[in-house]
Amino acid sequence: MTREEDGAARLAPAGEEAIEKGARILREGGLVAFPTETVYGLGADATSAEAVAKIFSAKGRPSFNPLITHVADLGAARREAELPPAALRLADAFWPGPLTLVAPRAAGGSVCDLARAGLASVALRAPSAPVARALILAAGRPIAAPSANRSGHVSPVTAAHVLDDLGESVDLVIDGGRAERGVESTIVSFLDEKPRLLRPGALAREALEEVLGAPLEGEGGEATIVAPGMTASHYAPRARLRLDASALREGEAGLDFGGRLGASEGPRPALDLSPNANLEEAAANLFLYLRRLDALGATAVAVAPIPSRGLGETINDRLRRAAAPK
């Protein structure tokens, strides 16, 4: 069987049959990639260290980097973590959805030590994507699921991206089409006195602060890595990125925003995250376009300035980490 045929054999369109098969694989300790509303996740039984170890192996991910565990609802989350009142307010407002809460592990919680990187905290999310929710319910247990790509690479927003990165390592890829949000969940920590934004994501800071009635603390309060996406270099394409560019240089491809670079002109590869300068559209296209520029053979990419408001904070966070020295 060729690699292409092997990949096709392990790719299943979203539906009841795929959900049932995926749930069985998870219960048996295997790996299943599935779509969430943010990006595709690489799932394993979060209660089994043996199963979770396969995630670290497949991704080439360091085991000091904890995983997000996906649960069906707030009730399931409260069995795994001690959620303070402020965390419960955010969960009530934004779950199911692209929000991850980091909190102290509950006594008797089932998420294994390896998924938590040996920490006394746990990162939890209740996704809204129908395929993800159905898979969690069918498996009957929490699912540890980082993004379904090689560690440090650009996160996957289609099933094809998963197969490109992990095709030989995953037992089943459930194809639910393109992930709607296109960037990962927002992560908020409740390990300090005040809630802290650990990773900007698909929920803007302003929406969270409105519910909390107070500003979120910024990054920097954690002495150790307690959630994904906190390493300096992450989400990296093969191409070098030059941020806040005002024009293209010789040999550069373009990643534009609102036509600021005029990047659609000329022979070089050029993509505009949002010709109308819409930050939600730009966030949804970010990883897709970074992967597309890689596929086009770009080795250097000039990136137009992105406003820092709303989801612009998330986009700029991903771009800074993608541009950091590898």
The pLDDT, as a whole number, for residue 167 is: 82
**Three-state DSSP state, 13:** strand
Burial class of 199 by CB neighbour count within 10 A (0 to 12, 13 to 18, 19+): buried
Looking at the structure of the chain, the number of domains it has is 2
The pLDDT, as a whole number, for residue 3 is: 42
Q: Domain range for residue 112?
A: 3-212
Does residue 99 lie within any of the structural domains? Answer: yes
The pLDDT, as a whole number, for residue 7 is: 55
Does residue 224 lie within any of the structural domains? Answer: no
Same domain, 167 and 308: no
Same domain, 18 and 152: yes
The per-residue pLDDT for range 13-43, each reduced to its tens digit, is: 999 999 999 999 999 999 999 999 999 999 9
Same domain, 18 and 167: yes
Say what the pTM is: 0.91
Domain harbouring 62, CATH code: 3.90.870.10
Does residue 223 lie within any of the structural domains? Answer: no
Same domain, 33 and 137: yes
Strands 40-45 and 143-144: antiparallel
Distance of CA 14 to the CA centre of its chain: 20
Same domain, 244 and 300: yes
Same domain, 10 and 111: yes
Does residue 225 lie within any of the structural domains? Answer: no
Does residue 296 lie within any of the structural domains? Answer: yes
Cβ distance 221 to 190 under 8 Å?
A: no
Listed residues 212, 228, 262: the one ending a domain: 212
Same domain, 57 and 159: yes
Whole-angstrom distance, CA of residue 98 vs CA of residue 201? 8
Same domain, 96 and 37: yes
Query: What residues in the chain have per-residue pLDDT under 50?
Result: 1-5, 221, 223
Does residue 81 lie within any of the structural domains? Answer: yes
The pLDDT, as a whole number, for residue 275 is: 96
Same domain, 305 and 268: yes
Same domain, 11 and 125: yes
Same domain, 22 and 85: yes
Same domain, 73 and 195: yes
Cβ distance 11 to 175 under 8 Å?
A: yes
Does residue 233 lie within any of the structural domains? Answer: no
The pLDDT, as a whole number, for residue 225 is: 58
Whole-angstrom distance, CA of residue 152 vs CA of residue 130? 27
